[in-house]
Structure formats: C-alpha cells, structure tokens
Structure 1
C-alpha cells in the first residue's frame, strides 16, 4: 500500500506557520506540537500553562518542559515585570515566535534585564488573517 499525506483544503480555519521550527532537529516533537498549538491561537491570547493543560492530555509539568525547550532553542521567552516601587514581580509575560531570534541570542530567561527589557520588533503570534 502506498503512503501519502492528506491535507484539508484551505479555508478560514487554518494557521500558517514556518517550517523552520518544524524541521529544527534540536526540538522534540512535543515542543514542536506545543509551539504549533500556541501559534494557532489568537494574537491577543495570553499564555498560561494551566490553560494549555485544559486543551491537551498533557499535564502542566510536560507543558513546562516543552516550553523550557522552546526557550533554550530561542523560540520562546519568559520575562518578569517588576514593580519599581515594591520591587515585587507583578506579572510574568510569555512570548513565542515560529522562528529563532534573528540575532541568534538565546532568550533572557533566568535573569531578564528588567531595567532595559529586550522588547525588539519580533514578529509574534499571527493567526486567522483575512488579508495582509
């Protein structure tokens, strides 16, 4: 029996993502799947591990491991926002892209520079665009 790949015809319910991360041999299929799923979500969707577990059979620990893998390989970044008066963390932000940072730098995960955060002009999560 011949093998084949079958695809659904394009319509409104699809996401265009880069093949770069899908073909990155440094990423596990789990990390590729997580990034693919996140890229399918709306642009304004906030990434919460607890919410991701609601849409998967994987537990939070598995999702955190896959996220860490994406961070190590330059596809994701976690940044903490600190209140300058109290010096307490007020929010953790998570960002993803379907390509590595163009400058090749690893994301600042362990000790992000909160005085001068790297906000760059990275392209992030774009889905369901009807026209460009």
Structure 2
C-alpha cells in the first residue's frame, strides 16, 4: 500500500498515531474523536448533533462510540452545580491523549477538608 499525503498550510488537525491506532476504540469512536478534535474550542456537539451530521451511525451508535471515548479517557464530562442558584450544567472536555485521572468536581457546599455532603475528596493531589 502506498500512502499519499497532501501538505497543508492551514485548516487541518494533527493526531498522534497512538490515538488513531488505539485498539480500545472502534473506528466509529476514532472518527468521532478526530471530528471533535477538529472543532474550535467551545464548539457545541452532543450525541444528537453528531448523529444528525453522520447518517448511518444513528444515535445509539454515536452514543456507544462516545462512551468508548469516555471509558478510554479521551472524553470527560463534569457536572457542575451553582451553589447560589442551584442550576446544573455539564462541561465536556475532549483530549487528544487519554487522561488517567478524572477532572476535579466543582467545589461542594460542605466545609473544606471534611466528608460532609457536597465535598468530594480526590485521591490524586494533582487535581486537588
């Protein structure tokens, strides 16, 4: 097989071979990861929009692929609750290499350094 590559000056995404060849991920998950990494920061993509833009995979297939990415550490979701308003939202982070540790939870409403409700103790000081 001969591989032909075009030199690009702009509007392209670089991915590590290890990411593209990660055997824990299906080809669908790898394609979705490449697509997500090609988007600008603060892009809004979810399972529904990904499925709508990629006919033939369907929401169930996209959902399964996103779960693969999450399980492998490429896709991280963090739920945040505003202590004043009680509003809850989810922040999503996409990485080009798998992350070993989860993101820290948003600050809880309990007293610091206790196990009261609202406080999450993380075993990894890196996220402290």
- Mapping for residues 35-114 of structure 1, pairs under 5 Å: 35-57=33-55, 58-85=57-84, 87-89=86-88, 91-101=89-99, 104-105=100-101, 107=102, 113-114=105-106
From the two aligned structures, give the one with the greater helix fraction.
2
TM-score normalised according to structure 1 size: 0.69
Q: Distance in 1 between matches of 2:27 and 2:51?
A: 17
Query: Could you say which structure has the larger radius of gyration?
Result: 2
Q: Distance in 1 between matches of 2:38 and 2:3?
A: 21
Q: Distance in 2 between matches of 1:44 and 1:24?
A: 25
Deviates more, 1:64-73 or 1:42-51: 42-51
4+ residue runs over 6 A deviation? none
In structure 1, the partner of 2:111 is: none
Q: Which has the higher contact order (CA 8 A, sep 6+)?
A: 1
- Where structure 2 has 5 or more consecutive residues not aligned to the other structure, the ranges are 109-119
TM-score normalised according to structure 2 size: 0.71
